[in-house]
């Protein structure tokens, strides 16, 4: 039946209907495949390093489509991996702050774009599955960063604030002095890095470049594992995926305490990395 089905309706149709969670994620057929990928990376990495909880967040929530998707994906990924999620969403609630010069892409954005509207309504819809942190990220981020814990290290971040200034503030999530409050590699999705107007002197790309110059032990690099062996070698969102490498994390400096393994055992141990 599979052969006939896939010949008539395509491989994706089969996977959408009958695939396992990981097959659906790999085929990119889940809602917000970019978030599914980043959150699964976070859960798998957390598990590999012995954590049962992980923190994820979205900077720039607007009306909440992304954050709601995160809560739904969290349930699926916890069922798959056993790793639980703490989910946070950051937004002014009132849309984009006024752009401050060319770096904030005033040719694309206006103040007040993407207002959340009914903040309490969104809180109600999230029903405690994600925490909304309302205010300019510049004012709210340090409280969040300082409260990150080793128990639930930061593992996935979506940056969808569109403009340079908000991205600089969001990247302060990486400023906790204790590397153990992060997974050794944190998956990032940057929404605005590959449109015709994007460039390294403006917007999210400028913020990434400045972060990398200031913090050589926590570089943000493109996710070099995509597309890997995924069914679609050319999904547009692959180019938006980055990884912050915590090179000051103990696990990236001293080998883990374990018996030497064979190549075969290593493949099993790191199957989902
Ligand atoms: C494109 S929207 C987010 C869309 C949302 N991620 C989704 O997938 O549905 C961008 C959001 O970033 C928020 N934003 C931009 N700069 C901000 C800042 N400095 N502080 C808080 N929120 C900010 C705006 O309020 C706006 O709602």
Q: Quote the tokens at residue 201.
A: 């002197």
Who wins on pLDDT, 224 or 261?
Answer: 224
Mutate which of 92, 112, 136 for ligand 1? The one with the most ligand atoms within 8 Å of its CB, which is 92
> Is 59 within 8 Å of 159 (Cβ atoms)?
yes
Indicate if the pLDDT at residue 232 is higher than 90. no
What integer pLDDT is reported at residue 229 of this predicted model? 85
Distance 249 CA to ligand 1 centre (A): 30
Of ligand 1's atoms, which has the minimum distance to the CA of residue 65? 9
What residue ranges do the domains of the chain occupy?
32-269
For the segment 13-29, the average pLDDT, to the nearest whole number, is 91
Output b/e per residue, 249-268; b: 16+ Cβ within 10 A.
bebeeeeeeeeeeeeeeeee
**Cα 61 to averaged position of ligand 1 atoms, centre (Å):** 5
Q: How many helices (H) and strands (E) in the chain?
A: 10, 7
What pLDDT does 3 receive? Answer: 82
> Could you tell me if 59 and 158 are in contact, meaning their C-beta atoms sit under 8 angstroms apart?
yes
92 CB less than 6 Å from ligand 1? yes
Residue 166 alpha carbon, nearest atom of ligand 1: 19
Cα–Cα distance for residue pair 212/191, rounded to 1 Å: 18
Cα 79 to ligand 1 centroid, rounded to whole Å: 29
Query: Token pair of 97, please?
Result: 């702050």
Q: Name the residue with the closest Cα to ligand 1, atom 11.
A: 60
If you count them, how many residues does the chain have? 273
**Inter-residue contact 154 to 173 (CB < 8 Å):** yes
pLDDT in tens, 125-171: 999 999 999 999 999 999 999 999 999 999 999 999 999 999 999 99
Rounded Cα gap, residues 90 and 131, in angstroms: 9
Question: Cα of 66 to ligand 1 centre, how many Å?
Answer: 11
Q: What is the pLDDT of residues 67-118, one digit of tens each?
A: 999 999 999 999 999 999 999 999 999 999 999 999 999 999 999 999 999 9
142 Cα to the center of ligand 1, angstroms: 18
Go through 53-65 and write b for each residue having 16 or more CB atoms within 10 A of its CB, e for each that does not: bbbbbbbbbbbbe
Q: Which of 67, 15, 258, 60 minimizes the C-alpha distance to 161?
A: 60
165 C-alpha to ligand 1 centroid (Å): 12
- Residue nearest atom 17 of ligand 1, based on CA coordinates: 166
Judge whether residue 203 has pLDDT over 90: yes
pLDDT at residue 13 is higher than 90: no
Task: Kindly indicate whether the domain formed by 32-269 is annotated with CATH number 3.40.50.150.
Answer: yes
| Separation CA 146–CA 46 (nearest Å) | 20
Q: Is 188 in the pocket of ligand 1 (CB under 6 A)?
A: no
Is the CB of residue 60 below 6 angstroms from any atom belonging to ligand 1?
Answer: yes
Decide: 169 in ligand 1 pocket, CB within 6 A: yes
pLDDT value of residue 258 = 84
Contact 66, 32 (CB under 8 A): yes
Distance CA 77, CA 43 (A): 7
What pTM does this model have? 0.96
**Which DSSP state fits 94?**
S
- How remote is the CA of residue 67 from the centroid of ligand 1, in Å? 11
């Amino acid at each position: 039946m599979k052969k006939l089905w896939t010949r008539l309706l395509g491989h994706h149709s089969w996977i959408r209907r009958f695939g396992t969670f990981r097959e659906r994620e790999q085929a990119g057929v889940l809602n917000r495949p970019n978030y599914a990928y980043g959150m699964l990376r976070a859960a798998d990495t957390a598990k590999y390093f012995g954590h049962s909880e992980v923190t994820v967040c979205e900077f720039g929530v607007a009306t909440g489509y992304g954050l709601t998707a995160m809560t739904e994906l969290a349930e699926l990924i916890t069922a798959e991996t056993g790793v639980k999620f703490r989910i946070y969403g950051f937004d002014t609630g009132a849309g984009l702050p006024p752009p401050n010069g060319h770096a904030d892409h005033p040719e694309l954005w206006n103040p007040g774009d993407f207002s959340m509207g009914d903040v309490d309504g969104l809180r109600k819809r999230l029903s405690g599955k994600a925490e909304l942190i309302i205010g300019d990220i510049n004012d709210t981020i340090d409280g969040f960063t300082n409260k990150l814990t080793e128990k639930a290290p930061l593992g996935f971040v979506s940056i969808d604030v569109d403009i340079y200034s908000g991205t600089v503030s969001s990247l302060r999530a990486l400023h906790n002095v204790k590397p153990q409050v992060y997974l050794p590699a944190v998956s990032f999705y940057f929404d605005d890095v590959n449109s015709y107007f994007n460039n390294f002197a403006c917007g999210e790309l400028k913020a990434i470049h400045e972060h990398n110059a200031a913090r050589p032990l926590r570089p943000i690099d493109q996710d070099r594992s995509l597309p890997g062996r995924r069914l679609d070698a050319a999904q547009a969102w692959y180019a938006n995926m980055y990884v912050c490498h915590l090179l000051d994390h103990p696990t990236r400096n001293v080998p883990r305490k374990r018996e030497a393994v064979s190549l075969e055992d290593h493949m099993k141990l790191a199957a989902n990395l």
